[in-house]
Chains A and B, each alone.
Chain A
Amino acid sequence: MTKKVEPVAVAKDKTLHRYLSKPARVREDRRFVTGNGRFVADLTPSGTMHIGLVTSPYPHARIVAINVEQALKLPGVVAVLTGAELAKATEPLRQYIDVPEVQWRPLAVESTRYAGEWVAAVVADSRALAEDGAELVVVDYEPLPFVMDPERAAQDDAPLVHPSHGTNVMVKREFVWGDVAANRARAHATTKVRTRWNRNSTVPLETFGVVADWDQHRSVLDIWASIQMPQFPEQIAGALRIPTNQVRVHFDVDVGGSYGVKRGIKHGVLAGFLARQLGVPIKLIEDRSENMHGGDFHGPDRIFEVELAYTADGEFTNIRIDVLDDEGAYPGRSPLQLAKPIGAIVGPYRIPSAEYNAIAVTTNKTGQVAVRGFGQSPTNYAIEAAVDAVARELGMDRMELRRKNFIQPDEFPYKIPSGTEYDSGDYPGVLDKAIEIANLPELLRECETIRAEGRLAGIGVATCLEPGGGNAIFENIMDPSTDKSTFPESCRIRVDGGGAVTAIVSISSAGQAHETMVATLVGEELGIDPDRVAVVRADSLSGFPSQSPVGSRMAIVLGRALHGAASELKSKMCAIGARALDLTPDEVAYCDGSVASVKDPSVSIGWDDLVGIAHRKQHLMPPGMQPGLEVMHVAHTPKSGTLTAPDGTVQLYPCFSFEVHVVLADIDPSTGKVDLKRYFIAHDCGTVINPDVVRGMVYGGTAHGIGVALYEQFAFNDDGQPLTQSFMDYLLPSAHEVPVIVDAEHCTPSPYTTHGQKGVGEAGYMGAPAAIAGAVNDALTACGAEPIHSLPIKPSDIWRALNARTPNQEGSS
């Protein structure tokens, strides 16, 4: 019935696309702009009870006793659950490295390991009453020694976060790729830069929320949650000790932002347990402070040392990256974020060998989780800081140094020392485009003018990769006993009896415009108007294998599944059409909804007739063919399916987007305030599916990167207390802080995807922190001050760097 489906179409010329890359409305916008999104907080099944949380005031303490008597006496409070009770009835939450002695649970058992950790849950008629009840729970704590600094935590005599583990070091992996000794010997010099990427995260407008409802007669736990997480249903079922087919996660709720952080597994397990225990729907919506200090959603918190070896004329010969990551109290999934950058460990540069030493330690901070780029943006920042330092050492132009070391367009596919093959790229071409839109000579003049007026000014450049098409091979890299190599995505395409087309996916979306993407791709594949394609979301029980939108993978992997399903559908229609036209399937072709003779296209059968036969006319169908027009396709991630080789080489993600940032910073020398005067990005994510969606990603990611570079930090004081518990102290950039961003798209199609598309979900964020830090440091070094290598760069940091100049240096400004 079906012919063999080509997994990957040859990338077509952009002009041949009918709907791809064309300006078109983003279908999700209408409901969000009119305030008609449907978020988990909007759902309150009848009889819902609400959770209030009792949290630890200490960074590390033994729980001596918990007295719930007064709380239970409060009218409206129906239950109080402690960690010990929950632990008896559930499995610990999943860690992704092999540390069974480190138990992570929704409610602390025996001791708390960070200020803000959940200790008990109060269930009441309203959230306000639950908070009243939580205040009445009396916990007797015995404070224990704690550690907040990752370098201190890595020392042998540091206080232990998990004494059962014997050390705070959770993972230590060392890699050497290529002939390091020879490449070091070839170098004339090396430059070392220590960089500090302080703790920040994506901080969505919507905090985490979940509603859980157990139907004891049908034996189904229904869950609505603001999630972006692979295997959420399986992990809920595992922790609650119920079969996976008794957990139904609904993906048709809007998720109010995520970029990695909407995991909420502990929230889901807690709400699911209470829903089963109490027999009522349970709702937990984090408030902002709970989210910030106890949501386990912080991002990477890293200290890097990058050593770049180079020849006298600026050719890079070897890179060594040492990184120490502060995971917070429970490692969870965060150590894996040290593995993803292995797939782009040399950036866009032709560096023949690399060393990578990665250590993950626990401290008494709230936990980390996946954040946009899964460790790539911090690594890009560290690499780019080293490249800028080499340029300063050599007195070379920073753009020319980069250009000299770029992998050239004719070298793709290009295998980097760590074993990953880059699919395609035109790095010099994208750099040229950035220089063109920035009008570089004019930008340099503007920089000089500002300096002549007595202010500080600097230009920043970053040339960075965005690996896309996420798979889970980093689990195998960090823990070789894990041999998971499959990370599929799937969809169903349905042409109903009325001839309408519906695409069904089983993922939730957090603002990535997947409905627009799916409709556009289905429209392109079938040659029909995307506006006529409905997109719906199946729940986890009625849906298909899906790993959720992580790692910039949906255009790539879901795109592949859509292509597979559309191809099977077209084959089926061709078989039906051929029979009706009295031809063989080889003699017909599908085109824009009709099936026609290849020889004589005037001999054809139209959409309605094909649909009619498939749904209602068995007598006209090819023998043995299933009725209806319904196909489902599950696709692997392109270029996946291999494990890490014994020599530590590995193919990570399949596709590599690229971006060049050029930014001009104007700095008030008296106050250290940075004004981003001009911002330019040239960006290449292969074939663009929807221009507005791509632009939105690039702008949003850049805004996020501006936050990281200048404003955002989850800080703690020496007593282990979180200092950032609201938006008064966690400073997200607003419209005032984000300048006009001028962007240009470049298109180097990927050979591994259906239409040449690559990932874009992390765009902008990949290079902005590096570029902005570069601009500030260009301004500082131009007036004789030392560069700053710690993010965020605050006005007082710049002021201090300027004041630390010797009088001689000041004279040079």
Chain B
Amino acid sequence: MKPVDFELHRPETLSEAIALLAEHGEDGKVLAGGQSLVPLLNFRLARPEHLIDLGRIASLTAIRRTPQRLIIGAMVTHAQAERSVAVAQGAPLMARAFPHIAHQAIRARGTVGGSIAHGDPAAEMTAVAVALEAIMVAVGPRGTREIPARDFFIANLVTALDHDEVLTEVRIVPPAGPTGAAFEEVARRQGDFALVGAGAQVRLAQDGTIADIRICLTGVSATPHRALEAEAVLIGHAISPESTQTAADATRDVLNPSSDLHATADYRRDVAGTLVSRVVKTAVQRATFDTTSAA
């Protein structure tokens, strides 16, 4: 379990990193925390000749908040974002997802950008990015691109990033109004990749009906799944046991998950529905609390 020989580059600036990627082409690979890539290297499943570590580029480690945007640098660690008030306010769903990412030691090294660029549909950050309609900012030799989440995740572990591009930041539009979020997972053990995970972020209107809702699922498809079918059931109404049940069923109807050693497809489909109804209820409760406390 030793990686194939590679050369490690540790650029101090983004432009150096981009130059290195341009120089090494498909033989180069970006290292952004290494919590997925290093095991892949050790298993020799990834065999880059040049590894370009973004860990020394200070400009990628900031979390910024403008009135219109929450901007998370690609090298912000999960642990850093987990503790950030700006993230808690600007992307409540993301904040709720962090405790489910593996264990503290992994969150201390793993990065938001690294997870998103890895494109694993079982991961929390990819699902959150889709639900919150995040914009991924990619910088490469041809300039800067802004890629919306719905176009970013193409297939399992495949994203819209070109091999010579670096994901530099993730932009999210903060919610306007009383908002609540919840994230739940079922994993065989605490910290494992979830058999199924679900997250919801809900904004309530003055009358208590749902003004905006984002629901996402992990582990049920080749790309992170946004449960538009469930959202359609719920938006514009106050929630009721019937409506969350209908949303759960709507979710189950469209999913086609796979079976593996740890769970069957039928189980995943059914539990996905259950989790959707649970996270929606919890998110609405939290949003209601937000309304009350704001008043």
Contact = CB atoms under 8 A, between A and B. Distances in A.
Interface in A711-740: 711, 713, 715, 723-724, 726, 728-729, 731, 733-734, 736-737
Given A713-B261, A734-B190, A800-B266, 11 more contacts: A131-B1, A289-B1, A289-B43, A670-B274, A671-B186, A673-B186, A715-B261, A724-B261, A796-B263, A796-B264, A799-B271
B271 A671 contact: yes
B65 to A, nearest CB: 33
B1 A288 contact: yes
Interface of A: 126-128, 131-132, 135, 287-290, 670-673, 711, 713, 715, 723-724, 726, 728-729, 731, 733-734, 736-737, 794-796, 799-800
A711 B1 contact: no
B4 interface: yes
B189 A800 contact: no
A736 B271 contact: no
A540 to B, nearest CB: 31
A787 B75 CA distance: 49
A278 to B, nearest CB: 21
A737 B261 contact: no
A241 to B, nearest CB: 33
Given A711-B189, A733-B189, A794 B262 contact: yes
A799 B190 CA distance: 19
Contacts of B266: 800
Interface in B139-192: 186, 188-192
Interface string B250-261: 000000000011
A796 B190 CA distance: 16
Given A127-B2, A795-B195, A795-B263, A731 B274 contact: no
Contacts of B3: 128
Going nearest first, the 8 A-B pairs with the smallest beta carbon separation are: A287-B1, A736-B190, A128-B2, A796-B267, A670-B274, A796-B263, A671-B186, A723-B261
B270 interface: yes
B189 A670 contact: no
Contacts of A723: 260-261
Secondary structure dominating the interface of B: loop
16 contacts: A128-B2, A128-B5, A132-B5, A288-B1, A673-B186, A711-B188, A723-B261, A726-B39, A733-B189, A734-B190, A736-B190, A737-B189, A737-B190, A794-B262, A799-B271, A800-B264
Contacts of A726: 39, 43
Contact of A731 (B2, B4, B5, B188): B188
A723 B262 CA distance: 10
Contact of A670 (B188, B190, B261, B271): B271
A135 B270 CA distance: 43
Interface of B: 1-5, 39, 43-44, 186, 188-193, 195, 260-264, 266-267, 270-271, 274
B43 A795 contact: no
A795 B267 contact: yes
Nearest to A670: B274
Contacts of A128: 2-3, 5
Contacts of B5: 128, 132
Contacts of A671: 186, 271, 274
Contacts of B271: 670-671, 799
Contacts of A672: 267
A794 B195 CA distance: 11
Contacts of A290: 1
Contacts of A670: 271, 274
A731 B189 contact: yes
Contact of B267 (A288, A715, A729, A799): A799
Contacts of B43: 289, 726
Contact of B270 (A673, A733, A799): A799
Contacts of B264: 796, 800
Contacts of B188: 711, 731, 794-795
A729 B195 contact: no
A736 B192 CA distance: 11
A287 B3 CA distance: 12
Contacts of A724: 261
A734 B186 contact: no
A158 B5 CA distance: 45
A208 to B, nearest CB: 14
Contacts of B39: 726
Contacts of A734: 189-191
Nearest to A131: B2
A670 B270 CA distance: 8
Contact of B191 (A289, A713, A736): A736
A724 B260 CA distance: 11
B236 to A, nearest CB: 27
A608 B20 CA distance: 75
Nearest to B277: A670
A729 B190 CA distance: 13
A734 B103 CA distance: 11
B267 to A, nearest CB: 4
Contacts of A127: 2
B274 A729 contact: no
A728 B267 CA distance: 20
Contacts of A736: 189-191
A737 B103 CA distance: 14
B193 to A, nearest CB: 8
Nearest to B192: A731
